[in-house]
Amino acid sequence: MAVLTMSKALNLGLRRAMERDDRVLLMGQDIGRLGGVFRVTDSLQKDFGDSRVIDTPLAESSILGAAIGLAMRGFRPVCEIQFDGFVFPAFDQITAQLAKHRARSSGATPMPIVVRIPYGGGIGAVEHHSESPEAYFAHTPGLRVVTPGDPASAFVMIQQAIASADPVIFLEPKRRYWDKAEVADSSELASSPELFSAQVVRVGTDLTLATYGPMVRTCLQAADAAAAEGKSLEVIDLRSVSPLDIETLATSVERTGRLVVVHEAQVSFGVGAEIAARITQQCFYHLLAPVLRVGGYDVPYPPSRIESHYLPDLDRVLDSVDSSLAY
């Protein structure tokens, strides 16, 4: 066991995947000599060479287009998009080509491509460096969308994503890059939770908090604060946005009778709305209160000086918890 930040855990996971399979290669802006803006790919070009860790031009559509061609030839590209808001020039390649090619070829041509995207706010950055685009990709059939909430999950999940035959949008919560936790450096992934499975990270009895990515830590803090007031909250890290592990979530809600979904992205038309609809349908007779959602406001991401007013925080989560428990 080693104590690592999430960025170091991702770096180690990429390293293990590259050691295991020489078809794995990394592509992105400034990921080689610089090691990436957040240093996730630090030293990998030095150790694996510039034919496997490739500094690309500033052209996201070209990065994804080249990766699709490489996947057709048997490689397993991992593309880094430098910031969340920069993914949109590649949106057509991702949604119209990458997502559909395996189905279009009747399964003959898999697309084992991982698109790494640092996402979310909380680091004092500008608009296009602080967005949460997960709903766009979750709405696109053929894509898998996952996001780790802690360093241990990040280390395992990046390796599992690279091993997947389907394209994976791998969202990395940038404000958690420097969070530290114990990580087991093991090449044995068979005993790890499946990539698309949710995990109960805190057991409780009164209400279920469902969350992912940057909000996992916030929800655990909310559970601690609620416990001081005699309330027992169960926290589920969804880990996978698409597909959703509804069974794990439904099992929890059937016990607690209440659900609050928390994410950083805007509430309207978001992941929380999908979860609310499906849990209401599946667990209708178990629910003691409506499913509530906590998220960003329906406005463009604000200037960094006021982002703390936009982002869901401990108080907003606890307010929704109190509202649910009041029914």
**pLDDT interval class at 193 (50, 70, 90):** confident
Q: Any catalytic annotation for residue 129?
A: yes
What pLDDT, in 10s, does the model give residues 81-110?
A: 999 999 999 999 999 999 999 999 999 999
The model's confidence at residue 222, banded by pLDDT at 50, 70 and 90, is very high
Structure tokens at 53: 């860790």
Residue 1: pLDDT band (50, 70, 90) is confident
Domains in the chain (CATH in brackets) are 2-183 (3.40.50.970), 199-325 (3.40.50.920)
How sure is the predictor about 25, in pLDDT bands with cuts at 50, 70 and 90? very high
Distances (CA, A) of 283 to 197, 235, 272, 278, 287: 19, 18, 16, 8, 6
Please say if the pLDDT value at position 33 is more than 90.
yes
pLDDT at residue number 127: 87
Q: How confident is the model at residue 251 (pLDDT cuts 50, 70, 90)?
A: very high
Catalytic residue, candidates 129, 139, 286, 309:
129
Answer yes or no: pTM beyond 0.85.
Answer: yes
At residue 173, does pLDDT exceed 60? yes
Rg (CA), the chain: 19
